[in-house]
Amino acid sequence: MKAATTTPSWLHTSVGRKVIMAATGLFLITFLIVHLAGNLLLLRGDGGAAFNAYAEFMSTNPAIRILEIALFAGFILHIYQGLYFILRERKSRPQGYALNAANANSSIFSRTMRLSAVVVLVFLVVHLRHFFVEHRVLGSPLTMYESCKAAFENPYYSAFYVVSMVLLAFHLAHGFYSGLQTLGLIMNSRIERIVKWIGAGLAFAIPLGFAIIPMYFLLKTF
Ligand code: HEM
């Protein structure tokens, strides 16, 4: 008798896995936009009042807590599927590339997708450890604003954020277009042009918005 499976079999095909990566990737981009909007409250110059109120709301509202579970599930699925494709490609090419794989038809953003993925993943681990774990798990005595201020006044920590945001820009520059393409939403050349413009705008504006925050705190120390 055939063993019962818990997930539909198409999800384990390459197409299914790519659809999961695309859907979770686009979901994560919407998270980044909301996260950035909240974090920009750090720049209000009110000593952190608005940001602390926002952080308090985000950590106590029951609907947000449920969304947070979906968010972590989205990250885990996205990373898991990405690792699957990287490892599968490695297996099928054990000797590695004899020549640089760059070709005239692929952009620098698509060619560096794995590098940008790894840097963003390392960033995420450090980031979650510093803010999420420190506050939600270890119960830091600092307010969220004080935590951000103390972190970003350290030039090494701020530099790490800014460099990570450059790599996030690379990741988004290819990821947004690629996700919509995988989902079959780029149906003609007009839509393709629009998607490329929106993708470029997001890849520029989101990381820039995040990078401004550590630079703001660092510059204030001079
Ligand atoms: C200057 C940039 C950023 C600042 C100041 C910042 C700030 C924060 C803070 C204070 C928290 C803790 C929230 C809480 O526990 O209530 C947090 C959580 C989180 N951050 Fe960021 N963040 C930044 C950039 C990013 C980026 C670029 C990503 C993704 C690539 C990211 C992903 C997350 C995730 C997944 C969480 C945990 C979920 C949550 O609590 O909302 N953050 N961030």
Residue from 24, 35, 67 to probe ligand 1 pocket by mutation (most atoms less than 8 Å from CB): 35
Instruction: Give burial (CB, 10 Å; 0-12/13-18/19+) of 16.
Output: middle
Distance 19 CA to ligand 1 centre (A): 25
Domains of the chain, earliest start first: 13-92+108-220 (1.20.1300.10)
32 in Cβ contact with 74 (< 8 Å): no
pLDDT digits (tens, 9 = 90+) for 4-42: 556 777 777 889 999 999 999 999 999 999 999 999 999
Cα separation, 172 vs 116, in Å, equals: 9
Q: Whose CA is nearest to atom 23 of ligand 1?
A: 210
User: What's the predicted TM-score (pTM) here?
Assistant: 0.92
Distance 17 CA to ligand 1 centre (A): 26
Phi, psi of 149 (to 5 degrees): -60, -50
Written in H, E and C, the secondary structure of 133-169 is HHHHHCCCCCCHHHHHHHHHCCHHHHHHHHHHHHHHH
Angle at 86 between CA 80 and CA 90, to 5 degrees: 140
Which of 49-63, 94-108, 152-166, 208-222 is predicted least confidently?
94-108
pLDDT digits (tens, 9 = 90+) for 110-136: 999 999 999 999 999 999 999 999 999
What tokens appear for 25 in the block? 């990737």
